[in-house]
Amino acid sequence: MCYTYIYQPVSACLLLNMSKALSPKLHINHCLLFLLASICFTVTSTAQQIAENGAPGIRLNQIGYYPGAPKIAVIVAGHGTVFYVQTPEKKTVFTGALKWSVKPDFAGNKTLIADFSSYQKTGKYLLFVPGVGYSYPFEIRPFVLKGVAGASIKAYYFMRASIQLRKKYAGKWSRAEGHPDTSVIVHPSAATDKRPAGTVISSPRGWYDAGDYNKYIVNSGISTSTLLSLYEDFPAYMKTVKLNIPESGNNLPDVLNEVLWNLRWMLTMQDPNDGGVYHKLTNAAFDKFEMPDNATAPRYVVQKGTAATLDFAAVMAQASRIFGKFPKELPGLADSCIKAANKAWNWAAANPNVAYDQEAMNQTFSPKITTGSYGDRNFNDEFIWAACELSATTGEERFITAINLMPDEKMPLPTWNQVRLLGYYTLIKNIRTAHDNGLKELPELKKRLLAFADSLIGGANETAYETVMNKSARNFNWGSNSVAANQGVALIQAYQLSNDPRYLQFALANLDYILGRNGTGYSYVTGYGSKTPMHPHHRPSSSDGIAEPIPGLLVGGPNPGMQDHIKVPSIVPDEAYIDDERAYAVNEIAINWNAPLAYLVNALEALQSKLKP
């Protein structure tokens, strides 16, 4: 089906207001490109990819379920009393009673809950509700989520800069090398006596951040750390995950091979003369929608900042701890990482309040930089995270004593600009090491983490979808799907600490939410499920001439804010989504959203035998 999208001109005032509103990515140049010129173009579309073989009123995990785990579907239309689990040949193998949800959804309507947890026989199935229809197909079997688990990490391979993606590894999404980044210019905002403006440095590798082609230390920090934590927390399982990437078979787990592509880029972003870290490597403005090898605008490293430097210190300390286990495969890397971490810590200690303020920077320096700002003005959480990682790796408590470890009782969910909980995770899971045993704050940290997990799951089974995500409309903001994933990660951490199965059950429920048990009926991971996003705001997926987007990418998800001024079909919080490449407020992808998805789904694969109804 062919659709025509018309872009209308907008006022400069509106664009200015949009630029102030967009967070964390300023897509003002994308708006200027498409909105100021009344451009008309056509795209081949399957619209919202409504599959013909699934009733839209039945919402479930479109991939499937572990035999011994909870199995829940939600019916949003109809008033039936019974449901049936059937084989593809329509043979009934399970009959269950529908129950009304305790509370209504955000639109004020109660749902019907179909619980078939007690049915554990492996196979392929449909759920049938009289008067509603048949669900999308699903499976029940061990390792049922292995495909999406691997794809959520393999997605980073497709986000690589400075490398050709060969057909052997990328299949039909193979492409030419983009952004070698061997001739990157030091922007005037980043100039020093030893590296004056105009100095050319080499800073290759790394992952493209999101729908654009720039590389940001702040967002790389939380993304890289989350993948490192996935290996650190589940090393035996992660050694079994094979991704078919160029480094596969080199005696390193593939998740670490992929992390190394970004880690080696991050190391190039530290000024070797003083230890400070550049905020980002970027074009002056966003590229248009084109393939990476066609995007050849000059690239810059810009101003050093406290947030970027501390995020770098935290990641390098964690990397040293993990890659130190592979001295033969990676000689010297662990030492290089901890040296870089210490040097970054020292710079941040001497420069504790250097904020990246792009608007102020552009008033002083040229060229003006209008790509994603990732601006932050409070660095307490970055100091906490870096101190925790450095302490856990070095055994030196001086890092902890240098900061206020618990400034308040909050346990804020991790985001790119709030990383405190990442530090707490590290301290708690390293309590068995000798130097941590004397840390007086650890018992309180453990208590607070479990209390936070309890606050997440409390009342979740009363919501219309029986998930943590559906407890509050506040969860549905920019990147809401990463909220669901990070809630799941927090619950996994609580389970690892307590062995309380409730945490694991609700972590799985949030994954069910991501994979289809939600207010739109979408599985929000490209390529996985019967109804998935076909038009993410992602330049390669839009420009490669292939109908299907790159697989394994988590789109942002429902967000009634419409900061991109693309109208969504509903402003009900969990329904505010549209599959439209222009709609970056709901349909962009980002490395910091894929990382908690990768952690959550792979952790559940590792822990599936612990799941009980």
User: Given the structure tokens 């084109």, which residue do they identify?
Assistant: 290
Best CA proximity match to 606, nearest among 248, 253, 124, 128: 253
Range list of β-strands (E), 158-264: 184-186, 200-201, 215-216
Which helix (H) or strand (E) segment holds residue 136: the answer is none
Q: Active site includes 212?
A: yes
Q: Active site includes 30?
A: no
Q: What is the distance of C-alpha 417 from the center of its chain? A: 14
Per-residue H/E/C for 32-68: HHHHCCCCEEEEECCCCCCCCCCCCCEECCCCEECCC
Tell me if residue 69 falls in helix, strand or coil: coil
* C-alpha separations of 472 from 68, 75, 105, 537 in Å: 29, 20, 10, 26
Can you read off the two tokens belonging to residue 364? 């002083």
- Taking the chain, what is the end-to-end CA distance rounded to the nearest angstrom? 43
Tell me if residue 538 falls in helix, strand or coil: coil
Strands 184-186 and 138-140: unpaired
Q: Which of 212, 287, 512, 605 is catalytic?
A: 212
From the number of C-beta atoms within 10 Å of its C-beta (0-12, 13-18, 19+), residue 487 rates as buried
Can you read off the two tokens belonging to residue 72? 């829940």
Q: Which residues, including other chains, have CB under 8 Å from residue 229's CB and lie 6 or more apart?
A: 318, 422, 425, 426, 599
Identify whether the C-beta of residue 245 lies closer than 8 Å to the C-beta of residue 169. Answer: yes
Q: Which of 27, 179, 535, 537 is catalytic?
A: 537
**Residues in the chain, overall count:** 613
Largest CA-CA distance found in the chain, in angstroms, rounded: 77
Q: Active site includes 52?
A: no
Q: Which long-range contacts (CB under 8 A, 24 or more apart) does 584-587 make?
A: 584/25, 584/27, 584/30, 584/211, 584/537, 584/556, 585/22, 585/478, 585/556, 585/559, 585/561, 586/555, 586/556, 586/557, 586/558, 586/559, 587/533, 587/535, 587/536, 587/537, 587/555, 587/556
Q: Which of 232, 258, 287, 588 is catalytic?
A: 588
Can you read off the two tokens belonging to residue 149? 């688990």
Q: What is the DSSP string of 368-386?
A: ---S--------HHHHHHH
Q: Active site includes 105?
A: no
Give the count of beta carbons closer than 10 Å to the beta carbon of residue 73: 26
Give the count of beta carbons closer than 10 Å to the beta carbon of residue 236: 8
Q: Which of 258, 564, 579, 581 is catalytic?
A: 579
Packed helices 501-514 and 480-498: angle between N→C axes, nearest 10 degrees? 160
Question: Catalytic site residues?
Answer: 212, 537, 579, 588
